[in-house]
Amino acid sequence: MPPYLLGLRLRGRRVLVVGGGRVAQRRVPALLDAGAEVVLVSPEVTPSLQGLAEAGRIAWHARPYRRGDCAGAWLVQAVTDDAKVNGDVVADAEAARIWSVRADDAESSPAWTPASGQAGDATVGVLLGGDPRRAAGIRDAVVDGLRDGALESRHSRRKPSGVALVGGGPGDPGLITVRGRQLLAMADVVVTDRLAPGGLLDELADDVEVIDAAKIPYGRTVTQDTINDYLVEHAKQGKFVVRLKGGDPFVFGRGGEEALHCARNGVPVTVVPGISSSVAVPSAAGIPVTHRGVAQEFHVVSAHVPPGHPESTVDWEALGRAHGTLVLLMAVERMALIAPALVRYGRSSDTPVAVIQDGTLPGQRTLTATLGTVADEMAAGGVRPPAIVVVGDVVDVAREIDMIRADLGRDP
């Protein structure tokens, strides 16, 4: 007959885990997340469990199981690789009328641990008669549906209100966060721009209003004040508004301005961080912005105004003296001024530079040069926005990786 499902509220309750191997390593963090006071009994444990013990998050008794260890527990997990020990633990728990789970023998286990997953505030648990693989497969299908918004948008009774500032990531639609995708699926209105992952818009329901708030460099643009007004106007009509932005809304995304405007007009705001293109695009091109022995720091700079411009607040002189990596955003049209300034302030003209255009998208391409040649090579190569410029010796790390891969790919 089917089991009776319960959601155990374990906050402040003692849970005994007997065994310190891989099964315990999977289950203990979930018990801690539920607020349980975990007592672990095992002569040896994995490094991760040892770390939890040393941090004071669990109580570890480094010895074999003893009769009486179950006393005071609300739940017992028998997860050793010794069937006799697991049987003894379960028998002692049964005698004390304590629910227990036996990891190695589902038929002999008084309780089963479901294949569980989390999607937002929803917890999913699936049992399939002790078949963990099938249960995990169904669990994954349900959790994926909740995470991408397909189930949430159809069945949620708690539709969000106000405005959500959602970071869409560097361009590839697959790099938006789970929470961002969930909220996007529940939107009544989506205010988007040219750097947001446009492929996600095709997944919206037909009745979702999409407002194009593109800001095209040196071309058609929608002012920030107009965008702010869009957000407040639609939210005050009772619609849930998602402001879908490229990268992270608070990294050169003017998300702070939008959040302030909403706050001043009494509109609640949810901020969903996104993967910033400042680190994601170099990574997609194989360039680490930090690398041991090469760069211990990196600086992210908005270069929408060049060195020497009265509106610039960037200390270009300090950046010229620095030895870390420079990641320049919005710099394509200004590299002819930026590169000489960095050289003038101390950077070698031989410093490697990489320019990554359309990062994470199918048309991604990378141009490599030096500070002394980059402006001319960008012009000759027809580089256009959006593109990220990386300045520093980490560019050579990517070159080394490419050379190794090329050598391995050659026939002997």
Q: Provide the residue type at 274 as one letter.
A: G
Of 215, 239, 315, 396, which one is the catalytic site residue? 215
CB 391 within 8 A of CB 347: yes
Alpha-carbon gap, residue 24 to 40, rounded angstroms: 9
Alpha-carbon gap, residue 42 to 31, rounded angstroms: 17
Q: Which of 11, 65, 67 is nearest to 38 (CA)?
A: 11
Alpha-carbon gap, residue 333 to 325, rounded angstroms: 20
Q: N- to C-terminal Cα distance for the chain?
A: 62
**Residue whose structure tokens are 């190569």:** 381
Alpha-carbon gap, residue 73 to 18, rounded angstroms: 12
Residues 6+ apart with CB under 8 A from 33: none
Token representation of residue 238: 């009772």
Told to judge if 193 belongs to the known catalytic residues of this protein, a careful annotator would answer yes
Of 69, 193, 245, 248, which one is the catalytic site residue? 193
Q: Which of 168, 24, 161 is nearest to 104 (CA)?
A: 24
Q: What is the DSSP string of 124-157?
A: EEE--TT-HHHHHHHHHHHHHHHHTTHHHHHH-S
Told to judge if 396 belongs to the known catalytic residues of this protein, a careful annotator would answer no
Q: What is the DSSP string of 47-106?
A: HHHHHHHHTTSSEEE-S---TTTTTT-SEEEE--S-HHHHHHHHHHHHHTT-EEEETT-G
The helix (H) or strand (E) run that includes residue 293 is none
Count of positions (residues) in the chain:
412
Q: Which residues are catalytic?
A: 193, 215
